[in-house]
């Protein structure tokens, strides 16, 4: 399904794509030739791919690569949010994902560390 508008006003934004993504999209566009909707991800008949077709292709790709079903599009989105937050800030992740509130990004997309920070020296100093 192709949505005509994003969920919130924050979703209206321009994304700067990395070079590898631009190269991949251009190669795909050239390889498939003309289609009446000028899309990149289209069927052989030149219509938009359905959500079911995209997910079916993703399942086949995961099976071919030996990757389990926890690797989803949302998992990639969450991993990107976590990476951006760790390298830059929660605001950078929020802007990339198009969220209107950083609390949404932090609560639902940024992974929490599995191990708490090492506070053992401080605790030893206090109680040791």
pLDDT, tens digit, 9 for 90 and up, residues 108-118: 999 988 888 89
Residues 90, 110 contacting (CB under 8 angstroms): yes
pLDDT, tens digit, 9 for 90 and up, residues 74-106: 999 999 999 999 999 999 999 999 999 999 999
| Of 71, 75, 72, 81, the residue nearest 110 (C-alpha) | 81
pTM: 0.74
Helix (H, G, I), strand (E, B) or coil at 42: strand
pLDDT, tens digit, 9 for 90 and up, residues 26-75: 999 999 888 899 989 898 888 988 889 999 999 999 999 999 888 899 99
| Of 49, 46, 27, the residue nearest 37 (C-alpha) | 46
Pick left, alpha or beta for residue 6 (phi over 0 → left; psi -120 to 50 → alpha; otherwise beta).
beta
């Amino acid at each position: 399904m192709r949505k005509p508008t994003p969920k919130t006003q924050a979703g209206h934004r321009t994304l700067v794509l990395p070079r590898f993504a631009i190269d991949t999209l251009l190669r795909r566009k050239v390889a498939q030739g003309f289609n009446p909707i000028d899309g990149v991800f289209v069927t052989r008949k030149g219509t938009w791919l359905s959500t079911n077709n995209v997910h079916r292709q993703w399942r086949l790709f995961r099976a071919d690569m030996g990757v389990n079903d926890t690797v989803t599009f949302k998992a990639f989105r969450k991993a990107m949010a976590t990476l951006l937050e760790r390298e830059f800030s929660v605001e950078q992740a929020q802007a990339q994902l198009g969220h209107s509130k950083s609390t949404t990004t932090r609560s639902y997309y940024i992974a929490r560390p599995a191990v708490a920070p090492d506070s053992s020296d401080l605790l030893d100093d206090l109680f040791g």
